C-alpha cells in the first residue's frame, strides 16, 4: 500500500480569469488530502472516503457497474468526488500501462469539498501519485501535475485550468498563465480563512462566467482586468509588499463579484474581515459559497469571522512549501 498526500490552496489572485489564459497566483496551504492505494487482484475499485465535507461513504464498483454511495448530501458533490477518483485512476492506469488494475482506495481530507480550497486537485494529484507508485511507477512532479490537470479537465468538461493541480503538485506559491506553470518566491503570508459551510458548483459557475463574457464586452474586459491586476500583484509579491497585496485582493474580489460568482455569505465574510482591518480579503476558488481568504497578522479578522452570521469556521493557514509527497502507511 502507498499513501500520498497533496496540499490545498488559496488564490491570491486570478481565479476564473485563468481559464481564459490570464495569469493567476495560487498558494498551497497546510491543509492536505491523503490518499491510500492498495492494488487488488481484480479490476474493481473500492473507494472509502472520509471527511470531504461529507458524512463519509464506501462504494465498490467496476467499470461496467453504475453504483453510487448512499449519503445525504447533494448528488452533484458526490458525483464530482467520484468523478475525480475515476479520472485519477484512469490516469494512473495509463501511466503504468496497466488498464485492468483494480484498487482499494481510502481518502482522508482536511480540505472541504467544493469550498474553493482545491480539494479536488489535491485528491487527484495525491491519488495519481499513490496509484502509480503502487503499480511500480514513479512520476515526476511535472507529470503528476499534467495528468491531474487532464483528469480535472475531463470532469469539468474542459473548463479546468492548470492552476489548482500545478499548485497541489508543486507546493508553495505558483504562477500559472495558460500552459506556463512555475513556482515563485513568496513570504509566509498571514492567511486567515473563513468558511461558510457551503460549496459552489464549479462547472456551473465557470460556465456562467463564460456566457457573460460572450454576451457582454464589459465582462470580457473585466476578465482582462483581473489579468492586469495579477501582474501588479506579482510585483507586490516580489517586493514583499503585503499592504499592496491586500489592496489588490480587495480589487480582485470586486471584479469577481461583478462577474456574478460571489454570494451573500462570501461578501459578508469579506466585509467582516475588512471591518476588522484586514489588509485585504476576497473569495477564493470558483465562488458561489465556500471560503474567503484574508491577510491579517493580528487575531482581529479570525475573531471577527467567528462572530459573523453565515461563517461556520475561521482559521489561520500557513504556506505549504511541500507539494505531493509520500506519507508513512
Cell for 260? Answer: 456574478
In whole angstroms, give the CA distance from residue 42 to residue 100: 8
For the segment(s) 191-317, the CATH number from 3.30.70.2740, 3.30.70.890, 3.40.50.300, 3.40.720.10 is 3.30.70.890
Residue 202, by phi and psi: left (phi above 0), alpha (psi -120 to 50) or beta? alpha
**What is the average pLDDT value for the chain, to the nearest integer?**
90
Q: Region 39-56: what's the mean pLDDT?
A: 76
- The DSSP code for 47 is E
Q: Name the catalytic one among 129, 146, 164, 296.
A: 164
Answer with the residue of higher pLDDT: 66 or 124.
124
pLDDT band at 38 (very low <50, low <70, confident <90, very high): very high
pLDDT band at 64 (very low <50, low <70, confident <90, very high): low
Q: What is the 3-state secondary structure (H, E, C) of 149-210?
A: HHHHHHHCCCCCCCHHHHHHHHCCEEEEECCEEEEECCCCCCEEEEECCCCCCHHHHHHHHH
Name 218's Cβ contacts closer than 8 Å, sequence gap at least 6: none
CB of 318 closer than 8 Å to CB of 324: no
- Strands 173-177 and 180-184, how do they pair? antiparallel
Q: Is the pLDDT of residue 53 over 80?
A: no
| Residue with the three cell numbers 458548483 | 201
How do the domains of the chain map onto residue ranges?
2-185, 191-317
CB atoms within 10 A of CB 151: 29
> Could you report the per-residue pLDDT of 69-92, keeping only the tens digit for each?
444 445 555 566 678 889 999 999
221 is catalytic: no
Q: What is the CA radius of gyration of the chain?
A: 19
Q: Is the pLDDT of residue 175 over 90?
A: yes
Domain 2-185 in CATH 3.30.230.10? The answer is yes
CB of 125 closer than 8 Å to CB of 111: no
Domains 2-185 and 191-317 share a fold: no
Amino acid at each position: 500500500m502507498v499513501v500520498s498526500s497533496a496540499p490545498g490552496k488559496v488564490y491570491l489572485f486570478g481565479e476564473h480569469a485563468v481559464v481564459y489564459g490570464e495569469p493567476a497566483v495560487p498558494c498551497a496551504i497546510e491543509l492536505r488530502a491523503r490518499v491510500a492505494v492498495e492494488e487488488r487482484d481484480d479490476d474493481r475499485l473500492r473507494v472509502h472516503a472520509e471527511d470531504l465535507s461529507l458524512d463519509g461513504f464506501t462504494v465498490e464498483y467496476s467499470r461496467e457497474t453504475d453504483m453510487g454511495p448512499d449519503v445525504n448530501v447533494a448528488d452533484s458533490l458526490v458525483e464530482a468526488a467520484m468523478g475525480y477518483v475515476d479520472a485519477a485512476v484512469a490516469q494512473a492506469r495509463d501511466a503504468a500501462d496497466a488498464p485492468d488494475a483494480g484498487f482499494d482506495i481510502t481518502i482522508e481530507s482536511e480540505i472541504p469539498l467544493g469550498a474553493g480550497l482545491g480539494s479536488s486537485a489535491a485528491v487527484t494529484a495525491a491519488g495519481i501519485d499513490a496509484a502509480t507508485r503502487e503499480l511500480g511507477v514513479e512520476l515526476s512532479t511535472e507529470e503528476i501535475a499534467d495528468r491531474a490537470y487532464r483528469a480535472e479537465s475531463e470532469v469539468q468538461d474542459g473548463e479546468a485550468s492548470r492552476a489548482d493541480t500545478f499548485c497541489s503538485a508543486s507546493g508553495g506559491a505558483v504562477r500559472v498563465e495558460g500552459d506556463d506553470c512555475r513556482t515563485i518566491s513568496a513570504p509566509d503570508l498571514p492567511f486567515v480563512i473563513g468558511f461558510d459551510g457551503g460549496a459552489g458548483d464549479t462547472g456551473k459557475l465557470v460556465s456562467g462566467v463564460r456566457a457573460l463574457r460572450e454576451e457582454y464586452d464589459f465582462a470580457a474586459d473585466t476578465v482582462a482586468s483581473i489579468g492586469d491586476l495579477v501582474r501588479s500583484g506579482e510585483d507586490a509579491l516580489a517586493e514583499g509588499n503585503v499592504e499592496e497585496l491586500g489592496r489588490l485582493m480587495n480589487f480582485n474580489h470586486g471584479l469577481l463579484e461583478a462577474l456574478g460568482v460571489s454570494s451573500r455569505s462570501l461578501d459578508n465574510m469579506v466585509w467582516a474581515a475588512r471591518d476588522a482591518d484586514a489588509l485585504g480579503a476576497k473569495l477564493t476558488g470558483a465562488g458561489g459559497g465556500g471560503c474567503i481568504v484574508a491577510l491579517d497578522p493580528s487575531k482581529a479578522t479570525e475573531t471577527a469571522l467567528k462572530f459573523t452570521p453565515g461563517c461556520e469556521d475561521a482559521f489561520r493557514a500557513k504556506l505549504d512549501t511541500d507539494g505531493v509527497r509520500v506519507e508513512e502507511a
